[in-house]
């Protein structure tokens, strides 16, 4: 696990560039290369593209020189035009650059100077007059001709003071969301610590793990808020993305471990884990944490990397599978409690605990469904100006789940979870 963390951090340090995209295309022959994820421009939003180190290569040993330079170019495409782009790509008889308003092509004299190395770089400035949600693409309509280039892409809007704002239109409210949630989680974590202090005699090891989970969740939100703050003003996370990765890693480990341990009754009713539960923690938790951090890093990388979309979808699928896998220990506990309620003569108490476990199971399912599916649907369907709502919903649901779990399993002698410590699952 330590090696995985170091590997992920190394990738993050080497490639994450926040909202200023540094895309390196190396001998790529794809007809369409996505260079950025969707970005929401306000009216008068701006795009700056700096390109250097342009190289073209012929496959199959062809010595024929490139003559149709207009077949290589950059263009902005609104997200709603994705279907039309796919249809154009399917028709190999025409160049996609003929059906779009391209920004510039390799035929431009300034680009030609970069190709012939008479000029070090070329910078293109563009104003998005009407605004909207756009992808930036590079199109290559010349068959068997891989292309290489180094590009630096700045996408930004201007605030009321005329300063650059590198956040997409729908993400400008994220700083308020994260600062607010940081304050709420900090207050809740402090309240949990105070409750544990006042109920020392009923506190178990799991309660201290729950405190650590709340603590690292608050630090994750703090790093997210600072990350958004610096990206908005400079286009770079200024190192806060690294802190975010570390806190996310620790919070991920603690979250899934706490859910599994609560679901198995560890430290409350038995001081050990069964073989099946231990296997869940040893396999699923590290895999989920790895996938979760990989998702973050993948989304910060430029989509120009080959198979970027494929890897992003794979990591999301692994994350969902791991979330579902942690439900098994809870189901096993419910089964054992149901059997115990029918055999040991303490049906009333066992049924009380059984009800609590069932409620916990339902809450975990709801949490997974909302944060993994509903949030994704909100991001995909809401107008881009309100994309921040998806993040707000995710954090509010997470807070509600944490508070509910803390309330139901808090250290107190009246808690049905603690009444039957003498009974083992």
* pLDDT, mean over the chain: 81
Same domain, 26 and 101: yes
Q: What is the pLDDT of residues 201-227, one digit of tens each?
A: 888 888 999 999 999 999 999 999 999
Q: Clarify whether residues 77 and 219 are in a common domain.
A: no
Residue 7 covered by a domain: no
In this predicted model, what pLDDT tens digit does every residue of 337-372 receive, in sequence order? 676 666 655 555 666 667 777 788 888 888 988 888
Residues 142 and 180 in one domain: no
Rounded distance, CA 187 to CA 181, Å? 10
Other beta carbons within 10 Å of 283: 12
Residue ending a domain, choose from 165, 182, 205: 165
The count of structural domains within the chain is 2
More confident call, 43 vs 263 = 43
pLDDT, tens only, 148-198: 999 999 999 988 888 899 999 989 899 999 999 999 999 999 999 999 999
What pLDDT is stored for residue 349 in this prediction? 60
Domain check: are 142 and 218 in the same one?
A: no
Regarding whether 360 and 238 lie in a shared domain, the answer is yes
Q: Containing domain of residue 282, as a range?
A: 169-419
* Token pair of 386 as six digits: 């309100």
| φ/ψ (deg, to 5) at 76 | -95, 140
Alpha carbons 63 and 367: distance in angstroms, whole number: 60
Please tell me whether residues 110 and 183 are part of one structural domain. no
Q: Are residues 344 and 387 in the same domain?
A: yes
Determine the distance from the C-alpha atom of residue 242 to the mean position of all C-alpha atoms in its chain, rounded to a whole number.
14
| Residue 2 belongs to a domain | no
Whether residue 116 is found in the same domain as residue 231? no
CA end-to-end span of the chain? 30
Q: What DSSP designation does 190 have?
A: H
Q: What is residue 3's predicted lDDT score, i.e. its pLDDT?
A: 39
Q: Which ranges constitute the DSSP H helices of 269-326?
A: 275-300, 308-325
Judge if 112 and 258 occupy the same domain. Answer: no
Tell me if 341 is assigned to some domain. Answer: yes
């Amino acid at each position: 696990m330590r090696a995985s963390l170091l590997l992920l951090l190394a990738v993050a340090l080497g490639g994450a560039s926040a909202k200023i995209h540094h895309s390196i295309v190396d001998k790529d022959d794809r007809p369409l290369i996505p260079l950025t994820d969707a970005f929401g421009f306000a009216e008068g939003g701006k795009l700056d593209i700096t390109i250097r180190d342009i190289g073209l290569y012929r496959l199959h040993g062809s010595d024929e020189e490139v003559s149709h330079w207009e077949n290589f170019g950059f263009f902005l495409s609104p997200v709603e035009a994705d279907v039309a782009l796919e249809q154009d790509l399917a028709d190999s008889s025409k160049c996609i650059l003929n059906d779009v308003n391209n920004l510039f092509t390799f035929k431009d004299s300034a680009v030609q100077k970069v190709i012939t190395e008479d000029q070090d770089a070329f910078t293109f400035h563009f104003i998005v007059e009407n605004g909207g949600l756009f992808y930036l693409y590079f199109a290559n309509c010349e068959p068997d001709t891989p292309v290489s280039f180094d590009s630096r892409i700045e996408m930004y809007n201007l605030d009321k003071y005329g300063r650059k704002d590198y956040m997409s239109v729908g993400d400008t409210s994220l700083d308020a969301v994260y600062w607010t949630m940081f304050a709420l989680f900090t207050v809740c974590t402090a309240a949990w610590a105070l409750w544990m202090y006042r109920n020392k005699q009923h506190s178990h090891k799991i309660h201290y793990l729950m405190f650590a989970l709340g603590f690292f969740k608050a630090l994750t939100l703090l790093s997210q808020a600072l990350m958004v703050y610096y990206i908005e003003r400079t286009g770079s996370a200024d190192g806060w993305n690294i802190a975010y990765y570390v806190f996310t890693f620790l919070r991920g480990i603690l979250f899934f471990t706490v859910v599994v341990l609560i679901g198995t009754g560890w430290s409350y009713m038995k001081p050990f884990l069964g073989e099946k539960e231990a296997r869940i923690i040893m396999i699923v938790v590290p895999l989920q944490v790895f996938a979760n951090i990989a998702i973050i890093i993948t989304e910060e990388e430029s989509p120009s990397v080959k198979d970027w979309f494929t890897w992003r979808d794979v990591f999301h699928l692994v994350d969902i599978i791991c979330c579902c896998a942690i439900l098994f220990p809870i189901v096993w506990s419910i089964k054992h409690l149901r059997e115990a309620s029918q055999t040991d003569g303490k049906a009333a108490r066992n049924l009380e605990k059984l009800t609590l476990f069932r409620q916990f199971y339902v809450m975990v399912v709801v949490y997974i469904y909302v944060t993994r599916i509903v949030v994704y649907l909100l991001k995909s369907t809401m107008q881009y100006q309100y994309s921040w709502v998806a993040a707000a919903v995710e954090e509010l649901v997470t807070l509600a789940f944490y508070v509910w779990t803390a309330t139901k399993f808090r250290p107190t002698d009246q808690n049905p979870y603690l009444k039957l410590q003498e009974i083992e699952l």
